[in-house]
Amino acid sequence: MLVTPSAAGGPGRGRQPALPRVALVSTGGTIASVGRDRLDLTGYAERAEMRAVGALLAELPELATVAEIVTVELPNVPSHALGLADALRVVRTARDLAADPAITGVVLTHGTNTLEETAFLLDLACPPGTPVVVTGAMRPATSLSADGPLNLVNAVRLATDPASRGRGVLVLLDDTVHAARDVSKTSANRLSAFRGGELGPLGFVEGDGAVVFHHGTEPWAARGAFDPGAVGTPPRVDIVLSYLGADGALVDAAVAAGAAGIVSAGTGAGYPTPAESAALDRAVAGGVLVCQATRVGSGRVTPRPAALADGMVTAGNLNPWKARLLLALALTRTRDAAAIQRLFDR
């Protein structure tokens, strides 16, 4: 990990007031990627070439008017190549920076493929207070009309705005502010790829740099509840997707592979097939904790008291991949289904 003060900002000279200090944690991704030419909007991933954070900041002298930037450069890794242990190391770095009283806010650049998952882990680990903002880009740094530079400037604006404090981890792309708990990537390629769930975005960073919030974030028991340095190695948790005619083979395979938990991504409001249900019952009988989620894009899987008594929890409105992360961390603390359900409820 490389930590350096950046020339992109500073406390000013003469009678200029000191600028807020923002820690910029860089992990690579599309925002740092180099394409073959300016029209390479899709093939750049195969090149696996990324710019260092210093090169990105050198092209953004505008940041000098917003904040003093302290760069923290982690290894550049495509986000779809990250494991849970890798993501937790990133989260631990950001959490430690957010705890530094000299830091006004933390900005994390991340590949968009799994951005929502790392942002969600950050929300589980960072107590509300110092703003933590995750951003990325849908177009590589070398492309025509690259979106990364303005995303980065707006993320720093958001991280330094007093109204961002206490809202949990925020995600900023395409001028739009989302809650990390609710945001999902919903398009493979469009600039407006990220959506904020049923409640929509929290707000926007306007063209003049003003941060405007339209509604707040609800309290949630799991927000900031986990210290990534204390969870050790989370147990294996697998996701099993339901589909027409699915049998229980994938559930049985997850159990055989050593899963301590299974997230069932059921149909509709959270319904696996009868054969999957039977396999999930076998898993629970064998000591595996099952979380019932839904494969659809929105809506809530409601708590089911009878299932809770049998050792099964429901995901609420968390999508399956976020439910997997919360279940994995929760299982490092307890196997009590009722206690785990309280972490899912909001």
| 120-to-25, 32, 146, 160, 321 alpha-carbon distances in Å | 16, 22, 26, 21, 10
Distance CA(187)–CA(171), nearest Å, equals 16
As separate numbers, helices (DSSP H) first and strands (DSSP E) second, the chain gives: 10, 15
Query: Is the pTM value of this prediction over 0.85?
Result: yes
Task: Kindly calculate the radius of gyration of the chain based on its CA atoms and give it in whole angstroms.
Answer: 21
Residue written as tokens 């954070």?
A: 53
E strand map for 57-192? 68-73, 105-109, 132-135, 170-173, 176-179, 184-185
Share above pLDDT 70 across residues of the chain, in percent, rounded to a whole number: 94
One fold for both 2-213 and 237-344?
yes
Distance CA(142)–CA(38), nearest Å, equals 6
Average pLDDT, whole number, for the chain?
Answer: 92
Domain boundaries, the chain: 2-213, 237-344
Average pLDDT over residues 56-70: 95
Domain 2-213 has CATH 3.40.50.1170: yes
8 A C-beta contact, residue 5 and residue 70: yes
pLDDT tens readout for residues 172-212: 999 999 999 999 999 999 999 999 988 899 999 999 999 99
Could you tell me the pLDDT band of residue 4, with boundaries at 50, 70 and 90?
A: low
Distance CA(160)–CA(162), nearest Å, equals 6
Distance CA(19)–CA(23), nearest Å, equals 13
CA torsion through residues 192, 195, 200, 206, sign: negative
pLDDT tens readout for residues 254-268: 999 999 999 999 999
Q: Which residues pair with 186 in a beta bridge?
A: none
Evaluate if residue 146 carries a pLDDT over 80.
Answer: yes
Share above pLDDT 90 across residues of the chain, in percent, rounded to a whole number: 82
For domain 237-344, give the CATH number: 3.40.50.40
8 A C-beta contact, residue 155 and residue 204: no
Which residues are catalytically annotated? Answer: 30
